[in-house]
Amino acid sequence: MAQGPGPVLVSEKRHWAAIGEAGALAGLRFMAWTYRLLGRVGFNIVLAPVMFYFLLRRPIARRASLEYLRRVKREYPDSLRGQPGLWMTFRHFLAFGRMLLDKYIALTGEPTTIDTRPQDAELVKSIVDSGRGIVLVGSHFGSLEYSRGISRRHPSLVIHVLVYDQHAANFAQLISDAAPESRLNLIQVTDLDLDLALRLKERVDNGEWLLIAGDRVPVGLSDNVCPAGFLGDPANFPIGPYVLGNLLHCPVYMMHCFFESGMYRLRVELLAEEIIASRKDRQRNYEPQAQKFATALEAQVRKAPLQWFNFYDFWASQTRSADDNDTHDQD
């Protein structure tokens, strides 16, 4: 197995939630205001200097982006034109800013174009028609918010998004301010206790869907991970989605939504019809599902490397609590 680029600084081994993402509520509101005032073209003009500022002021994110892009280039040389460097990292940041706007547009109900292959549309319809609730595993690749297109095509379907952090809560507040009628069903997760498990079980039994990220380790649950090969080296992936599938006795599906040729494209596939695992050595029990998800994510990332937005060292140990590192990164 090829070795990755050299090790990153110790400070980059913080939990991702301890790193100040470009997601403060004031910044998100400025983004929305700029778009409403200037439109997309004006937004893109303003975005460039803003992202250049963050490129300079967010060294952890900058180094993590470069590390990730180097891994992609090493494993899939044809996926990126040129060698990863500061310019490609800047383009990665720009893509992130545009994705935030697309997320805002999707959630405030503006008309959007979403491409769904016939086989994906048929699969989604069969799931909805079955009346079964499912766990849907997404990622920070592209913009999962365009999954709301599924709800528009199937008005009876309810999708809940399980979130771990304040960044998501900030975005939810922004959407609530801009579109009070938006049905944004967020469930804040700090721990999978009995009360939460019972509430989620009730929703699944009602045929509702639970959407959860499969590529970030929750705050306070950093021991609930297992290793999976990703871009040439093992990385820690959360087992939470598969624990839910086991506890709730429901199928687990994967979903990816990425931008290509002027529109977002939605892809859905079965990860496991049923997950049965014992409590003993639970991390190892869920390795097959985590690896299947990691392999599927890598296949998507290979096609659009600049659309995966995890701006921290994904391959470093993620077992340290965010409480140990409550300061924002500074140069």
Band of residue 46 on the pLDDT scale cut at 50, 70, 90: very high
Least confident segment among 24-28, 256-260, 292-296: 24-28
Kindly state the average pLDDT of the residues 47-51.
92
Kindly state the average pLDDT of the residues 245-270.
90
223-257: per-residue pLDDT in tens? 688 999 999 999 999 998 999 999 999 999 999 98
Q: Are 203 and 149 in contact (CB under 8 A)?
A: no
Q: What is the pLDDT of the chain when averaged over all its residues? A: 80
What single-letter DSSP state applies at residue 257?
A: E
- Cα-trace Rg, the chain: 19
In this predicted structure, the answer to whether residue 268 has a pLDDT above a threshold of 50 is: yes
Band of residue 222 on the pLDDT scale cut at 50, 70, 90: low
Q: How many whole angstroms from its chain centre is CA 194?
A: 25
Band of residue 174 on the pLDDT scale cut at 50, 70, 90: low
Q: Are 239 and 291 in contact (CB under 8 A)?
A: no
Band of residue 318 on the pLDDT scale cut at 50, 70, 90: very low
Helix locations, the chain, DSSP H:
25-57, 59-75, 86-107, 118-130, 148-153, 166-178, 194-205, 240-248, 282-285, 287-303
- Domain-wise residue ranges, the chain: 10-317
SS (H, E, C) 130-187: HCCCEEEEECCEECHHHHHHHHHHCCCCCEEEEECCHHHHHHHHHHHHHCCCCCCCEE
Kindly state the average pLDDT of the residues 185-195.
73
Q: Give me the DSSP letters along 279-291.
A: STTHHHHTHHHHH
Q: How many whole angstroms from its chain centre is CA 150?
A: 18
What single-letter DSSP state applies at residue 78?
A: G
Residue with structure tokens 């989605």?
241
**Percent of the chain, pLDDT > 90?**
45
